[in-house]
Amino acid sequence: MFYSLKVLVLLTQGQLLKLPVKSQSSVHQWLSILHCALNMETVEMTSVSLKRPHSEDGVANADEIKRQKISEKPKTGNNSGQNIETVTEQPEKSLLEDAKNEIIPNEEGEEQEDEELEESDEDGDPESFADMMKHGLTESDVGITKFVSSHKGFSGILKERYSDFVVHEIAKDGHVSHLDDFSVPVDDEVNSEDPSEETFTVLSDEDKKRLEELQLFKNKETSVAIEVIEDSKEKRTIIHQAIKSLFPGLETKTEDRDGKKYIIAYHAAGKKALANPRKHSWPKSRGSYCHFVLYKENKDTMDAINVLSKFLRVKPNIFSYMGTKDKRAITVQEIAVLRITAQRLAHLNKCLMNFKLGNFSYKNHPLKLGELQGNHFTVVLRNITGTDDQIEQAMQSLREIGFINYYGMQRFGTTAVPTYQIGRAILQNNWNEVMDLILKPRPGAEKGYLVKCREEWAKTKDPAAALKKLPVKRCVEGQLLRGLSKYGMKNIISAFGIIPRNNRLMYIHSYQSYVWNNMVSKRIEDYGLKAIPGDLILKGGTAVHIEEDDVDNYTIHDVVMPLPGFDVIYPKHKIGEAYKEMLVADNLDINNMRHKIRDYSLSGAYRKIIIRPQNVNWEVVAYDDPKIPLFSTDLDKLEGKPLPVLPTDGKFRALKMEFSLPPSTYATMAIREVLKMDTSIKNQTQLNTTWLR
């Protein structure tokens, strides 16, 4: 029980909250929890709740029973002797935010669809925040139960400020992306399409509006005429250049009308021109793609691409990138765009907040998802409680041993229907269950219109009537209801197919991740932290078993475990049987993961058990003001901003840590190993629950 000496009163979402406060430090911690939780992105489709004090979800309880049954199997094999801890107790203060904080590609590294799911700004019920915490997931619900280090855990605040979490992309050649140059490259060949600064101001706002409507086919006009007020060849050239640069897909010509000069803009290639900018105006000696470094703050990658495409008046699908990055962070990554000049891109630096573009170059190729080597993280954990010895032990262990390569909590969602359960229903070909899990009423936090939609669905099973309750039609529920209205209740497969492909696949990848997390926990519990006969390693991309006489040549860092799917090898030791038992309990056959619908056939893959971060460095700093930055960003350095002078004996201590990780690994799981705490939102808030009631 948390006995407070003071009470902090806040008004949030229309609700008066009384928060127990012991000190100024506690105030900062409570504000951090509220700030993180109220600003966290909640994707409608990724919602999970498996274990609750009074569960209304029989499926969730069944999952827990099955997981316990598997974990209760007799242990076999030798333990390594290292301290493998199960999550049983948590530190008194646990303030990690479960936000999206790594790259989260699916195992196939597929591109996201153009059509993204949208969210409404409409506020939910005042109790929604507390409700969401009651019905959320904990780490143990998704198989995250082990630590590999022996130090004592301590607490700290992750992402008290989004600038406390910085990600730099690492390319295949090991080059780390940094924003350190705003200059625009100069071609050997002069290009008349390269816009000058005057290009961006020569057209009036009214001209731009008419041209944009013409480009997007929003009116019946076939052309737009712009009078040349100060007629000269130079003036006409600038207007021609401005239209072609700012509105890809439009062509121009000059006409005399009643003794006046007009620039006429018109479509040359129809709607295809929007996605395929003109080829004939691009210098042959220049690469077709402009590559640049995107520095962004508090915005995820797809949101950033959508903003850039809107300002450039082009389709988002002409952009490419190697990985998606977090929202609540500062991230630096490489982007490529087809036939957009560096001049146009550089001009956006004057127009956009929280974005900067630089390090421009022209190349002959786009970027592809998964082409990166990894990411370099710079993380500040504020208000830490650990002693210098604890921190030293924790960071040395991270450097030398590493952390269990669990899929992080953001893989599984935050509210009351587990994404992995929907994925399991898809794999079982149980489409009525898929429909029910997505649309049925659920306990916990939801926006008011979604609650009404679900109530209407439960009452009438009428997709059209339920759809009318949604002001935002492009959430998963809206997409499915629209599909059911179009194809009928007897064709759920086609209705479900209206949801963008990448969002559909996220469900089955969530199930893969759930199985893998549970199996890796069992593997470490039963066999410890050493390679044993029957384990799998990768040789030249092929999985092979470790033989008895060869086991001394490998360590736990070489061992991989399979994600359930076809064309994979399973371990010869008892973990292979545990995989089989878990899938049999879910009415699935581990030897036949092909689905009658090709999209939902799980392809096999292998994942390392333990990840040892590279380039691990750390330092402890003191500070007084929680609002000041504790290190310089790329933009700070470009703008010459000095780092604030920090006190040698401040009121608070922070741990600044740096490390590099390969793709599809989770920085939160590395930080979890350092702090020894559950990273779920549910755990963070339930450490002090009196204010939620």
| Cα–Cα separations (whole angstroms), residue 354 to 42, 212, 664 | 21, 25, 26
Among residues 164, 194, 326, 634, the one annotated as catalytic is: 326
At residue 405, the 3 state secondary structure works out as: coil
Active-site residue, 678 included: no
Q: Which residues is 362 bridged to in the sheet?
A: 290
Q: What is the 3-state secondary structure (H, E, C) of 592-652?
A: CCCCCCHHHCCECEEEECEECCEEEEEEEEEECCCCCCCCCCHHHHHCCCCCCCCCCCCCE
Strands 560-563, 605-608: pairing is: antiparallel
At residue 215, the 3 state secondary structure works out as: helix
Please report where in the chains the tokens 């504790």 appear, as a residue: 630
At residue 440, the 3 state secondary structure works out as: coil
Dihedral sign computed on CA atoms, order 551, 554, 555, 556: negative
Q: How far apart are CA 35 and CA 27, in angstroms?
A: 12
**Phi and psi, residue 103, nearest 5°:** -70, 135
Beta-strand ranges (E) seen in 277-400 are 289-297, 319-321, 330-338, 355-363, 374-382
- How many residues belong to the chain? 693
Q: How far apart are CA 434 and CA 105, in angstroms?
A: 23
Instruction: Tell me which H or E stretch contains 446.
Output: none
Dihedral sign computed on CA atoms, order 648, 649, 650, 653: positive
Q: How far apart are CA 207 and CA 320, in angstroms?
A: 30
Active centre residues (catalytic): 326
